[in-house]
Amino acid sequence: MNYKKSTGCRMARIGAAFGMEVVAWSPNLTQERADAAGARLAGSPIRKLS
């Protein structure tokens, strides 16, 4: 898959062009892919219950 053409990557570039801090999360998103898209990888939105 070409990640540079993905919808999320395109949206990250648009947000960055407007000076936004781009934060992304996906169960399949790696730090490498987030870096390539210019986004900061967020932690999991799922809170661990103890």
Q: Does residue 34 register a pLDDT over 60?
A: yes
SS3 40: strand
Domain boundaries, the chain: 3-41
State the pLDDT at residue 41: 92
In a 10 Å sphere around its CB, with 0-12 CB exposed, 13-18 middle and 19+ buried, how is residue 11 labelled?
Answer: middle
pLDDT, mean of residues 11-26: 90
Confidence band, pLDDT 50/70/90 cuts, at residue 28: confident
Q: Please state, rounded to an integer, the average pLDDT across all residues of the chain.
A: 82
Q: Does residue 12 register a pLDDT over 60?
A: yes
Cα–Cα dist 4/41, whole Å: 16
Q: Does residue 49 register a pLDDT over 60?
A: no
Q: Does residue 26 register a pLDDT over 60?
A: yes
Cα–Cα dist 4/15, whole Å: 15
